[in-house]
């Protein structure tokens, strides 16, 4: 009886281990689990094109179609070049996070795409973009109207909750 119970426990442990390994899923070019980028829910599909380009499908929520060179940001004397295009799909209360790295500046940072009700209505939903430089405690953010500024990370953690509001 004890041997049977031990076999059952070991089988359950093996199954859980397999599920845990599968749940980790794909990793970015630097070895970070892609699922850890998304704080709301994991994406349906992630395709790594190269170190500066990802194709991320969030199903009915949002879709990041390209991440490439194009937008120049200067902070603390370090120039970081990147860009992206966003296609809105369905409800805009979702936001997703994508890691990227500039080979010239050698900086690993994060791009957070917002779909929130504060910057637009149902017909004109404006994504808000927040850029985090991991070596500093501030982010440079830019909205659709090209206004920009810096916010401490502590304030941003509270401020990001607005992205979960539903459009009316």
Three-state SS for 34?
helix
pLDDT on residue 9: 54
CB 139 within 8 A of CB 131: yes
Question: Residue 29, CB half-sphere, CA atoms under 13 Å: how many?
Answer: 15
Q: 64-79: per-residue pLDDT in tens? A: 333 322 232 222 222 2
Distance CA 82, CA 146 (A): 16
pLDDT on residue 31: 54
Q: 90-107: per-residue pLDDT in tens? A: 333 333 333 333 334 333
Q: What residue has token string 């991991």?
A: 134
Distance CA 138, CA 154 (A): 9
């Amino acid at each position: 009886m004890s041997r049977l119970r031990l076999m059952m426990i070991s089988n359950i442990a093996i199954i859980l281990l397999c599920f845990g390994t599968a749940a980790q899923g794909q990793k970015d070019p630097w070895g970070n689990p892609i699922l850890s980028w998304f704080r709301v829910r994991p994406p349906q599909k992630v395709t790594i094109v190269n170190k500066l380009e990802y194709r991320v499908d969030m199903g009915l929520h949002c879709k990041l179609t390209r991440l490439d060179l194009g937008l120049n940001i200067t902070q603390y004397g370090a120039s970081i070049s990147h860009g992206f295009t966003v296609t809105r799909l369905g409800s805009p209360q979702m936001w997703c996070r994508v890691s990227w790295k500039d080979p010239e500046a050698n900086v690993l940072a994060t791009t957070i795409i917002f779909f929130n009700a504060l910057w637009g209505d149902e017909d004109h939903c404006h994504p808000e973009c927040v850029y985090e430089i991991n070596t500093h405690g501030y982010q440079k953010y830019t909205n659709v109207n090209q206004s920009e500024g810096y916010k401490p990370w502590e304030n941003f953690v509270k401020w990001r909750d607005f992205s979960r509001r539903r459009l009316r």
